[in-house]
Amino acid sequence: MENEKLKSFVIREIEKSNGILRLKPAWVARDFLPPGKRLGLPEEQYNLGERGGICERWIGSTTKADNKFGVPNEGLSFLNINSEFEITLKNAVDVVPELILGENYSKTHRGLNRLAKIFDYEFRLPYHIHQMQHHAQLVGRNSKDEAYYFPEGLEMGKEADTFFGVHPFITNEKKYELLLKPMLEWKDDSILQYARAFKLMPDDGFHIPSGVLHAPGSALTIELQEDSDVFTMMQAKVGGKIINKDLLFKDVRKEDREKHGERIILEMIDWETSGDPYFYENRHTPPILIEETKTNSGEEYWIFYNTNKFSGKKLIVHPNGKFISTDKGVYNILVWKGKGKFAGIDIEAGGNFDKDELLICYDAAVNPLIIENTGKEDLHIIKFFGPDINPDAPLLAKYI
């Protein structure tokens, strides 16, 4: 569709929907681990042959997945509208940024600049990093700070602990090359001996900056991050199998790999944060009640915070309750539990993928919206915001 025609079409859809757009789910396959099969899909839809399995759902995404065996537009969200045209959310933001992002925000921010997802693996992910900006930009990508929230009511999986960082002595004594041998040999998971493990708990979370070593556990995880799919996998054996070593160098320049080999990875690690003796205290992000918006009908919690790069809330509306929601900028939602109405629009969790995902454009977001619970259980909604929208989001007190 030509640009002007697309622009006119998106404007009409925004006006017709009063600034609230339904989105389709974006399913993403990975080939290094089997799926946990908790995303609500029929059993036969998880296995995709050489592409691997459906392990992630991306939410309100304008980011394309970076897979070896990809498909066109994998990872991108599409508008869920009655039309002969398929329009990605990225297309819509590109043609009418002022309507979706807000006029002032769109002058200083190019796009939504965040990626929300659910990741769901049978086993713990490999020990890895996401490159910091100065390394990511060498391969034309962005950094990837990220944060996790572990929702209640689901099995935590086979390996429900996460390895974060390294033991402090490694950074204190600058014994960085301890991690080099397992990468060179590429035969087992012995690299994990240098990391610390943390048990994952329901209704809990962590904030992890780029460059920090981590191996996320098998709990189904709702994640909010920068809009990037950059990484380097440093653990050879996961889920009982050896993964392709190309994943170690996925986002490393060819010339750096040829000149430095595995040693180049050591230069990409944020050693100070990875070796922080107060890693838990400085990165642990349990829900924080937002007292200002609490009512008898419902309450909100910060669940993604400690950074200005993104933020997120959990909204709970009690049965037969109505909650008036007013926010500071564009956001998207995932209906995690229950059913109801969002500004008059039917919403429902539990596998009804046509009704569990919305984008709330700026003008709608900053004005009062009535959210109703029409079911018999609490209605849970996750709100995802991009950079600089919630400067009042909490920051953790620094332990040193």
221, 118 Cβ separation under 8 angstroms:
yes
- Secondary structure of 113-143 in HEC code, one letter for each residue: CCEEEEECECCCCCCEECCCHHHHHHHCCCC
- Do residues 212 and 264 both lie within one domain? yes
CA quadruple 381, 76, 225, 233: dihedral, nearest 10: 130
Residue 183: in which H helix or E strand, if any? helix 180-185
Q: Which domain holds residue 335?
A: 288-385
Give me the pLDDT at residue 84, please: 77
Give me the pLDDT at residue 1, please: 62
- Do residues 30 and 163 both lie within one domain? yes
- Do residues 292 and 278 both lie within one domain? no
Total domain count, the chain: 2
Q: Choose the final residue of a domain: 260, 283, 306.
A: 283
- Do residues 15 and 115 both lie within one domain? yes
124, 218 Cβ separation under 8 angstroms:
yes
In a domain, residue 390? The reply is: no
In a domain, residue 394? The reply is: no
In a domain, residue 354? The reply is: yes
In a domain, residue 397? The reply is: no
Under DSSP, the state recorded for 374 is: -
In a domain, residue 396? The reply is: no
Give me the pLDDT at residue 88, please: 97
- Do residues 211 and 310 both lie within one domain? no
129, 269 Cβ separation under 8 angstroms:
yes
Q: Choose the final residue of a domain: 266, 283, 300.
A: 283
- Do residues 57 and 192 both lie within one domain? yes
**CATH number of the CATH domain containing 185:** 2.60.120.10
The tens place of each residue's pLDDT in the chain, 400 residues long, gives 688 899 999 999 999 999 999 999 999 999 999 999 999 999 999 999 999 999 999 999 999 999 988 889 999 999 999 877 899 999 999 999 999 999 999 999 999 999 999 999 999 999 999 999 999 999 999 999 999 999 999 999 999 999 999 999 999 999 999 999 999 999 999 999 999 999 999 999 999 999 999 999 999 999 999 999 999 999 999 999 999 999 999 999 999 999 999 999 999 999 999 999 999 999 999 999 999 999 999 999 999 999 999 999 999 999 999 999 999 999 999 999 999 999 999 999 988 999 999 999 999 999 999 999 999 999 999 999 999 999 999 999 999 8
b/e burial code for range 215-229 (CB count within 10 A of at least 16 → b): bbbbbbbbbbbbbbb
131, 209 Cβ separation under 8 angstroms:
no
One-letter amino acid at 228 equals S
Q: φ, ψ for residue 347 (rounded to 5)?
A: -130, 150
- Do residues 271 and 362 both lie within one domain? no
- Do residues 262 and 327 both lie within one domain? no
pTM value > 0.85: yes
In a domain, residue 393? The reply is: no
